Structure 1
Amino acid sequence: MSVKPTIISIAAVSGGGKTTITQKLGLELENTKELFFDDYDFENAPDDIIQWVNKGADYNLWNLDPLVSDINRIKTSKEVPSYILLDYPFSYLNDKMKKYIDLSIYIDTSLDVAMARRILRDHTDNNINDVRNDVKFYLQYGRVAYLEMENSIKPNSDIVIDGTLPSDKIVELIIKEIRDRGL
């Protein structure tokens, strides 16, 4: 009898906590494998995210074959995990990926908190002008990408969890949902 892992995707805006939650959830659940969207180089992916959003944010323009390939490799490996956790921003909106996802979670982090986290994460060794340029770019262009996630990904997720909660509490709520759903 073959084992079918439960595949859980975790989405959030940049700085919203998806990597932290994916890692912590992997430590709490038994027999997991984590895959992180940012670890992949997707050929022919949109070069300009802002332009992609402004043209309608077609999630199927992303060729996610490397991620799909890794999921299939894990599913058919000698030791199949109970869970595959995806740090993955698109929920069910990419047609190739949606058939793999059993549960989609959106970490709903307010944009100001996400921006503050990004600044703390990305600018530890930078000067104030780098921070200013990042914030200026966000205000002039990048905010539309964050809003796209709030308007498209969030409503297409199975579970929405408050991203301002402590990460341990978020993981606790996810585990409760997994158990309540029998996954």
Structure 2
Amino acid sequence: MSRKPMIISVAAVSGGGKTTITNQLKKRLDNSRALHFDDYEFEESPADICKWVEDGADYNEWNLAPFISDIHSILNDHDVHYIILDYPFAYLNSSMSDLIDLAIFIDTPLDIAMARRMIRDFSDSTLENIQRDVSHYLLRGRPAYLEMDMSVKPNSDIILDGTLPPEIIVEQIIKGIREKEKNSIN
């Protein structure tokens, strides 16, 4: 008898660990597939994230049709037990909210996320580019990070400490998955 795959979303601020945790979960969960939000072009969505946040951060302004289409394609694969989404919005986009079974938020302090982002994105960059990015963060970008803390975090089922090693975070998520599975059987 086949079952519907459990859809698990993993959210965090940029540099918060979404991709690392998603990839490690995929390795640990048998018969799983992963989709990464950043791999998609959302043409009918806000082009300027900072302006979108300044204007009130309406998560339904994001037309996630290509992402949702890929989720539905995977749902038809009876060999898949878990779909892991590297996805920043938890339940806040109404076209996605009914699809997600478990929303995880990795609560990473902004200074750590910023340091990780600098290492990841600017390893071969000039000091001028780094200074420009940090200035943009201070002038406009920080509210976008804070928006996640104010909106996505409280709309998640499980909130985990982003300062923990990835292996511990993954173990905690797997424990949450098992509890969710157990509760859905009862």
142-151 or 171-180: bigger deviation:
171-180
Hey, what does 1:179 align to over in structure 2? Answer: 178
CA displacement, residues 96-141 of structure 1 (integer Å, 9 cap, x when unaligned): 0000000000000000000000000000100111111111100000
TM-score by length of 2: 0.95
Hey, what does 1:132 align to over in structure 2? Answer: 131
Hey, what does 2:148 align to over in structure 1? Answer: 149
Hey, what does 1:89 align to over in structure 2? Answer: 88
* Alignment check: 8 A CA contact 1:22 1:86 kept: yes
AA of the residue aligned to 1:150:
D
CA displacement, residues 2-26 of structure 1 (integer Å, 9 cap, x when unaligned): 4300000000000000000000011
Q: Find the aligned partners of 1:18 and 1:157 in 2 and give their Cα distance.
A: 14
- Is 1:10 aligned to 2:17, yes or no? no
AA of the residue aligned to 1:94:
N
* Alignment check: 8 A CA contact 1:10 1:85 kept: yes
AA of the residue aligned to 2:53:
V
* Alignment check: 8 A CA contact 1:9 1:91 kept: yes
Give the gaps of 5 or more residues in structure 1. none
Give the gaps of 5 or more residues in structure 2. none
Q: How does 1:4-153 map to 2 (within 5 A)?
A: 4-77=4-77, 79-153=78-152
Q: Find the aligned partners of 1:111 and 1:87 in 2 and give their Cα distance.
A: 19
Compute the displacement of 1:178 (Å): 1.0
Q: Find the aligned partners of 1:155 and 1:81 in 2 and give their Cα distance.
A: 29
Q: Find the aligned partners of 2:41 and 2:180 in 1 and give their Cα distance.
A: 33
Identity of aligned residues (%): 58
* Alignment check: 8 A CA contact 1:9 1:101 kept: yes
AA of the residue aligned to 1:175:
I
Q: How many residues were matched structurally?
A: 182
Q: Find the aligned partners of 1:93 and 1:57 in 2 and give their Cα distance.
A: 10
Q: What is the CA RMSD across the aligned residues, in angstroms?
A: 1.0
* Alignment check: 8 A CA contact 1:74 1:80 kept: no
**SS at 1:182 equivalent:** helix
AA of the residue aligned to 1:89:
P
Compute the displacement of 1:43 (Å): 1.3
